[in-house]
């Protein structure tokens, strides 16, 4: 039986493949230290786990849930957005809980992208943007992010991409189509923080060009003292949707808890698709997530203290590899340019893996603009990073 055409050009997720290779090496006794994937190794706050336990033993908590999520959880999200981002959201109409924000990327694509619609993908950027857009039938065009521009978009380049695409459609006699654009700040993989001016430019660009702007915002609390939401910009709800998640900010990656925020009409659009895909999130998980969103600044300070210490060790590791990097990056990773004698980040990554039994991520998996970079995760203990340093020295 043949697979569907929509899967043509869609490969297995890189980390899925690489983890199998690492697993085989571990079976051979090599005990690989993985500094690749960004899965927090720290636990959620004890009060969050306690809330899950208490709710899960109640006999009436195990049925199907509302497709829109628990009102308690939605209200907690609204309060959280107001407190940390200074954004006002109606919990009844402008918030949609997600079983992880990754599924939200797919839901948005399936909701708004028709065959042949233009989807603007950041290069470098999260590979799932491209995969979800292609599966949905979109025409993916990369827009380049460069260090010399602080990893911000070139709006002239974006304007030209849209102009060329619309011209091609007109020649083919096509009707007006949707244009969807993915953005992500603090940016992954580069760790670049946003500015208010950047968010304002993005919203104005989307308004002028009829673009549906999708901002993916899971890293705003990691090694960052100023969390920002694109929805804080005046007029943002007219054109933008924001994805957010508890995976990184609250050490709940495996819990699969995320959210989509935006104007009522857009939330309802996405709900039409999502309600046909799942039957809601386990209620005790939602109630525990609501508890997590009540945590104060001291929680984030303690988590970031750990990551700051690990980052110092990662800097040491990268210096050992003669890589260059910006020390002011946010997020769960350090993005670094490789020495010029390596062909690309894949070559350096493979050399480190096979000579030292240490895995670091090649930047090329995030797009061609990442070919001369590697990315190192902060989701391992200082002891493991120290051991990785020793292995590389040897």
The confidence score (pLDDT) of residue 12 equals: 67
**Helix, strand, or coil (residue 259):** strand
The pLDDT of residue 26 is above 70: yes
Average pLDDT of span 65-69: 88
The confidence score (pLDDT) of residue 174 equals: 61
Confidence (pTM):
0.93
Confidence band of 13 (pLDDT split at 50, 70, 90)? low
Q: Residue ranges of the domains in the chain? A: 5-43+297-393, 47-292
By mean pLDDT, which of 5-14, 46-55, 89-98 is the weakest? 5-14
| Whole-number Cα distances in Å, 235 to 34, 60, 90, 206, 268 | 43, 42, 16, 10, 19
Average pLDDT of span 172-197: 89
The pLDDT mean for the chain works out to 93
| CATH number of 5-43+297-393, picked from 3.90.1150.10, 3.50.50.60, 3.40.1190.20, 3.40.1390.10 | 3.90.1150.10
Dump pLDDT digits (tens) for 330-373.
999 999 999 999 999 999 999 999 999 999 999 999 999 999 99
Rounded distance between C-alpha atoms, residue 166 and residue 181, angstroms: 15
Q: What CATH number is given for 47-292 in this structure?
A: 3.40.640.10
Residue 244 near residue 89, CB atoms below 8 Å: no
- Stretch (H or E) spanning 144: strand 139-144
Identical fold at 5-43+297-393 and 47-292? Answer: no
388 Cβ partners below 8 Å, 6+ apart? 33, 35, 317, 356, 358, 380
**Helix, strand, or coil (residue 118):** strand
358 Cβ partners below 8 Å, 6+ apart? 32, 33, 35, 352, 388, 391, 392
Closest to 261 (Cα-Cα) out of 113, 117, 79:
79
Confidence band of 23 (pLDDT split at 50, 70, 90)? confident
The confidence score (pLDDT) of residue 176 equals: 61
The confidence score (pLDDT) of residue 296 equals: 95
């Amino acid at each position: 039986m043949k697979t569907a055409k929509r899967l043509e050009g869609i490969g297995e997720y890189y980390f899925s493949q690489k983890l199998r290779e690492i697993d085989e090496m571990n079976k051979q006794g090599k005990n690989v230290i993985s500094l690749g994937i960004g899965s927090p190794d720290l636990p959620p706050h004890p009060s969050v786990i306690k809330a899950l336990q208490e709710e899960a033993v109640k006999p009436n908590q195990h049925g199907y849930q509302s497709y829109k999520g628990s009102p308690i959880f939605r209200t907690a999200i609204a309060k959280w957005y107001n407190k940390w981002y200074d954004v006002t959201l109606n919990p009844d109409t402008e918030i949609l809980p997600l079983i992880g924000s990754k599924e939200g990327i797919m839901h948005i694509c399936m909701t708004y992208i028709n065959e042949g619609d233009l989807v603007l993908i950041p290069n470098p950027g999260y590979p799932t943007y491209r995969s979800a857009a292609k599966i949905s039938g979109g025409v993916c065009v990369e827009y380049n992010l460069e260090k010399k521009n602080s990893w911000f978009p070139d709006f002239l380049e974006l304007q030209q991409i849209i102009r060329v695409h619309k011209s091609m459609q007109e020649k083919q006699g096509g009707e007006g189509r949707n244009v969807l654009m993915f953005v992500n700040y603090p940016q992954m993989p580069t760790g670049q923080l946003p500015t208010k001016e950047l968010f304002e430019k993005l919203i104005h660009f989307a308004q002028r060009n009829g673009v549906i702007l999708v901002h993916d915002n899971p890293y705003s609390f990691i090694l960052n003292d100023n969390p920002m939401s694109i929805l804080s910009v005046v007029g943002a709800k007219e054109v933008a949707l924001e994805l957010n998640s508890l995976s990184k900010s609250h050490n709940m990656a495996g819990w699969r808890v995320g959210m989509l925020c935006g104007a009522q009409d857009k939330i309802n659009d996405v709900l039409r698709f999502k309600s046909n895909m799942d039957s809601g999130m386990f209620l005790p998980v939602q109630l525990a997530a609501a508890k997590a969103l009540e945590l104060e600044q001291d929680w984030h300070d303690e988590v970031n203290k750990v990551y700051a210490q690990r980052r110092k060790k990662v800097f040491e590791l990268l210096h050992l590899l003669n890589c260059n990097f910006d020390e002011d990056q946010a997020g769960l990773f350090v993005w670094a340019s490789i020495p010029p004698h390596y062909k690309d980040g894949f070559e350096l990554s493979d050399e480190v893996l096979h000579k030292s039994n240490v895995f670091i991520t090649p930047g090329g998996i995030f797009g061609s603009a990442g070919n001369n970079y590697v990315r190192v995760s902060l989701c391992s203990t200082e002891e493991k990073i120290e051991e990785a340093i020793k292995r590389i020295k040897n």
